[in-house]
């Protein structure tokens, strides 16, 4: 599996953040490698708000949107321009590891940054506009099986990225062939992709449930399936899984951060501890509950190993379905 659900929680530490040698002063930047409205933007803005609420930063946390190359522009910027910056975090997810796995960041790899931690996981969905003729996932994928070009999908990742892979995973599980022929339109973020689906220009949306909450609540978007092992809790419990519909497709997307590899060890320790503290807070638990995130927070000393393993697994999947040679 590309991902194993983890319910690990951080034990209380005797060392408080206030006692640590290094603390951020002034403005902290969180780079969201996309335009406003998508999952990386959500990660930066929601984490920044909670960090300020908890007093984990003395100043503000400013979200800097840096779209381009499916996260590649932000990755290259961090490696080359911010190599020793102690006060910058970059939002990351399974979309990041997917691009790294597919060699989409030329000359760069996962070892060029420091992986700080994860703050939950966001499950993939396949959704359509409220007036779509497709009433469930089987009906939509039956059309794809009959004609691979029959359904146009839109997502916030580049072609071959994680949003695109979700469609291919589901289609393959349904017995479809000619997977590279399935139309996928790439947009700068999930919000833009959903707007195209809601407006009727594209047939279906592939993304994560946290991106779609607003369009779901307005009634403009109908989720045909959540790509999870079991139904999500709370307000999302009414959404059927792909598995319930006979499609064995699961695609969780962790959300977290990396930072410059050359930043000081003191800064790394601070941000790892800050993410641990934020994750166990009531404030963050409320954010998770309202946005469909499930618990996922590997211990700090295991997170980098998890990232490297996921890169290897996604690379193998990409080769299997013809996206890599």
Q: What pLDDT, in 10s, does the model give residues 11-33?
A: 333 346 766 778 999 899 999 99
38 pLDDT exceeds 90? no
pTM of the full structure: 0.78
* CB of 279 closer than 8 Å to CB of 297: yes
Per-residue pLDDT for 4 more than 70?
no
Residues 80-116 pLDDT 10s: 999 999 999 999 999 899 999 999 999 999 999 999 9
Predicted local confidence at residue 16, as pLDDT: 65
What letters, b where the CB count within 10 A reaches 16 and e where it falls short, cover 246-264?
A: ebebbbbbbbbbbbbeebe
The pLDDT-based confidence of 324 (bands split at 50, 70, 90) is confident
Got the DSSP string for 96-155?
Answer: HHHHHHTT-STT--GGGEEEEEEEEEEEEEEEEETT-S--SHHHHHHHHHH-TTS--EEE
pLDDT for position 135:
97
Q: Where along the chain do its domains lie? A: 17-122+254-320, 123-245
In tens, the pLDDT along 223-259 reads 999 999 899 988 899 999 999 999 999 988 999 999 9
| Domain 17-122+254-320 matches domain 123-245 at the CATH topology level | yes
Domain at 123-245: CATH code: 3.40.190.10
Residue 158: pLDDT band with limits 50, 70, 90: confident
Question: What's the average model confidence in pLDDT over 63-78?
Answer: 96
Bridge partners of 128, per DSSP, are 204, 222
Domain 17-122+254-320 belongs in CATH node 3.40.190.150 = yes
């Amino acid at each position: 599996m590309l991902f194993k659900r983890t319910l690990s929680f951080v034990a209380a530490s005797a060392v408080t953040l206030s006692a640590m040698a290094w603390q951020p002063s002034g403005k902290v930047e969180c780079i969201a490698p996309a335009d406003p409205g998508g999952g990386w933007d959500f990660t930066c803005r929601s984490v920044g708000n909670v960090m300020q609420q908890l007093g984990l930063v003395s100043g503000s946390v400013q979200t800097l949107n840096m779209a381009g190359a499916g996260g590649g522009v932000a990755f290259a910027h961090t490696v080359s321009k911010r190599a020793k910056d102690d006060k910058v975090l970059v939002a990351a997810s399974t979309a990041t590891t997917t691009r790294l796995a597919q060699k989409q960041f030329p000359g760069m790899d996962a070892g060029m940054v420091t992986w700080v931690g994860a703050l939950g996981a966001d499950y993939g969905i396949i959704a359509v506009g409220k007036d779509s003729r497709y009433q469930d996932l089987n009906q939509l994928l039956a059309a794809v099986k009959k004609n691979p070009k029959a359904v146009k999908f839109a997502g916030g990742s580049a072609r071959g990225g994680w949003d695109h892979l979700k469609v291919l995973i589901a289609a393959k599980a349904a017995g479809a062939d000619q997977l590279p022929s399935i139309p996928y339109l790439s947009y700068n973020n999930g919000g833009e992709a959903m707007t195209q689906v809601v407006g009727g220009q594209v047939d279906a949306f592939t993304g994560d449930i946290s991106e779609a909450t607003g369009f779901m609540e307005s009634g403009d978007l109908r989720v045909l399936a959540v790509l999870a092992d079991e139904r999500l809790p709370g307000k999302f419990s009414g959404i059927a899984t792909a598995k319930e519909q006979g499609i064995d497709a699961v695609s969780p997307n962790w959300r977290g951060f990396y930072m410059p590899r050359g930043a000081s060890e003191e800064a790394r320790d601070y941000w790892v501890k800050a993410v641990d503290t934020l994750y166990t807070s009531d404030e963050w638990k409320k954010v998770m509950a309202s946005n469909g995130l499930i618990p996922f927070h590997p211990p700090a000393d295991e997170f980098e190993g998890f990232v490297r393993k996921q890169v290897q697994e996604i690379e193998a999947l990409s080769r299997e379905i013809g996206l890599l040679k």
